[in-house]
Structure 1
Amino acid sequence: MKDEELARRLRDAAGAHRPDRERMLGRVGRGMAEGRPAARAVRPPRTAMPWLRVAGATAAVCGVLAAGAFAVASAGDGSPRGTRVAAPPHSPAPPSSPAATVTPPPALGALRPEDGPLWTDGAVDPHSNAYWAQSDVTLRTAAPLSSLTVELRIALTGGVNSTGSWRSLPEKDFTVSASEDGGYLVYRWSLRAGRTVPAGTHTFAGQYNHAEGARDAAGDYVTAHAVRVSGQRASVGDWFGPDH
């Protein structure tokens, strides 16, 4: 059969064909009712699995190392958490505090209880007890004084601390201080400018607590520096204790 004849027959058959519309619609409806088959899960190729396992292990190791570094940086240095503070090499030692200055007591012969019209005496008050004491300074002057400074020094033996002071002269005539200096509790009375100390006998007293028991006052002493109204100067001093 020649090609032309075959082509003609095919065209004739195609022209004579009439599609069954109802049958076609039925097949389409049945296909839609049955639904599509479930999609299958797609697994990665087996060759990719080792790489995923290596990546996961690497991430875990990095996490452990990071946590360890954070803990080291945060522990015990007092700095904000997570901040590493490195101590400088060969840090110099902090300077030591200077030792407290101790004022040596004057030599026994350096204190004289009488100088011209001025005289003084120091003694522990008889009303003192096993926990508390009062040191009395008696000052006598035969002439008025235009300037006067009385300084009572109580050695800082066990438990010594100030509890107050007083003087028999008018309070408004003096400035008063109590401080620790050179190993002593120091009471200082200074006559104010323009005031005068009259001739007579006057008392200055310093009070303090101390450790339980009989306190040895042999290291305590008093000094007084005065200027008479006439302009002449005088200085006196005395030790406390039973052998003063």
Structure 2
Amino acid sequence: MTGRRDVDEELRARLHEAAGAHEPDRARILARVERGMAGRGRDRPGHHGATRPPLLGWARVAGATAAVAGVLAVGGYAVASALKDDAPPQRSVATSPAPAPSREATTSRAPAPPADPTPSAPPGTETPEPPASSRPPAATGSATARPPVSAVEDGPLWSDGSVDPHSHDFWAQSNITLKTGEPLTALTVELVVAQTGGVASTGAWRSLPEEDFTFTVEERDGFLVHRWTLKQGRTVPAGEWMFAGQYDHERGDRDAGGDRYSATATAGSERLSVQGDFAPRDGGS
């Protein structure tokens, strides 16, 4: 393979030298042609002095010149072809297509809290607290009085209120947990959220079947009231159940001290009633 490459390189070198060294003497060729044509004219009878070569002679001169130019062109093309044939062939690389993005599976969990609607402050900075005069007044009235511990339990019905740990500076979720040792044939649950500024409902859910309840939410006397009512003919089985209300609020660590909940129920022929707030308490029975 190496010997053949050496022969090819030597051939190309000689072709280059031949093409460069070959320079036809066009003036000499034309002079010889003219002398030949002039001699032919003197041999003719009746010739007197130098005569102009006929048209045919000039056509031959032009043809000879064109032939020389053609030889030079063919030689140059042969040299270029010899050089081009030795160039390495171009290669193409095939690439596989990028994989299509996979679709995430959906779940039946409770709605996730929304993302922070405003950009966070740069590191090392603190958000100034609003002056006391611009803060919303705390809710007043009977709903602000903290119910006694005994009110969170009535017979087979026990209750507790808590602020969901996923709450943040712009959004919160209040959870009401009910435990019943007997089936309930009637149940109404109310979540009362104090209007501390910018409070607006963003949804609600419960761990019992949605079609078993009628749900409403309304503004009333400075509070946002969520209400779940068990439909007639439906039953809440014995067990532990949760009711949750979600809402936006003004930026900051919201005070849930004015929030309350209550629940009324029927177990057999007995009427039950519980109520409480959202301060931490030990679990019930």
The TM-score by the shorter chain falls in which range? 0.5 to 0.7
- Structure 1 residue 231 displacement after superposition: 1.1
- The structure number with the bigger radius of gyration is 1
The aligned counterpart of 1:121 is: 160
| Aligned partner of 1:184 among 223, 227, 235 | 223
The aligned counterpart of 2:248 is: 209
The aligned counterpart of 1:136 is: 175
Task: Report SS of the residue matched to 1:105.
Answer: helix
Contact map agreement 1:151 1:186 (CA 8 A) in 2: yes
- Within a 5 Å distance, the mapping from 1:14-53 to structure 2 comes to none
TM-score by length of 1: 0.56
Structure with the bigger percentage of strand:
1
The aligned counterpart of 2:270 is: 232
Note if 1:108 corresponds to 2:146.
yes
- Structure 1 residue 108 displacement after superposition: 2.7
CA distance 1:171–1:162, shift in 2 (3 Å): same
Runs of 5+ consecutive residues of structure 1 not aligned to the other structure: 1-101
- Which amino acid counterpart does residue 157 of structure 2 have in structure 1? L
CA distance 1:126–1:192, shift in 2 (3 Å): same
Contact map agreement 1:219 1:241 (CA 8 A) in 2: no
* CA distance in 2: counterparts of 1:139 and 1:182, whole angstroms: 26
Identity %: 55
Contact map agreement 2:202 2:247 (CA 8 A) in 1: yes
The aligned counterpart of 2:257 is: 218
Contact map agreement 1:216 1:241 (CA 8 A) in 2: no
The aligned counterpart of 1:156 is: 195
RMSD after superposition: 1.9
- Which amino acid counterpart does residue 108 of structure 1 have in structure 2? R
- Structure 1 residue 107 displacement after superposition: 3.4
Contact map agreement 1:103 1:183 (CA 8 A) in 2: no
Contact map agreement 1:118 1:141 (CA 8 A) in 2: yes
Instruction: Summarize deviations over 1:155-187 as a string: whole Å, max 9, x none.
Output: 000110000000000001000001001211000
- Structure 1 residue 106 displacement after superposition: 5.7
- Which amino acid counterpart does residue 199 of structure 2 have in structure 1? V
- Structure 1 residue 225 displacement after superposition: 0.2
* CA distance in 2: counterparts of 1:213 and 1:221, whole angstroms: 20
- Structure 1 residue 153 displacement after superposition: 0.2
- Structure 1 residue 241 displacement after superposition: 3.4
Contact map agreement 1:103 1:182 (CA 8 A) in 2: no
- Which amino acid counterpart does residue 276 of structure 2 have in structure 1? D
Instruction: Summarize deviations over 1:1-45 as a string: whole Å, max 9, x none.
Output: xxxxxxxxxxxxxxxxxxxxxxxxxxxxxxxxxxxxxxxxxxxxx
* CA distance in 2: counterparts of 1:140 and 1:218, whole angstroms: 23
* CA distance in 1: counterparts of 2:187 and 2:153, whole angstroms: 15
Runs (4+) off by over 3 Å: 241-244
* CA distance in 2: counterparts of 1:149 and 1:164, whole angstroms: 18
Task: Report SS of the residue matched to 1:152.
Answer: strand
TM-score by length of 2: 0.48
Instruction: Summarize deviations over 1:219-242 as a string: whole Å, max 9, x none.
Output: 1011000001x2101100111135
Contact map agreement 2:214 2:230 (CA 8 A) in 1: yes
Runs of 5+ consecutive residues of structure 2 not aligned to the other structure: 1-139
Note if 1:241 corresponds to 2:260.
no
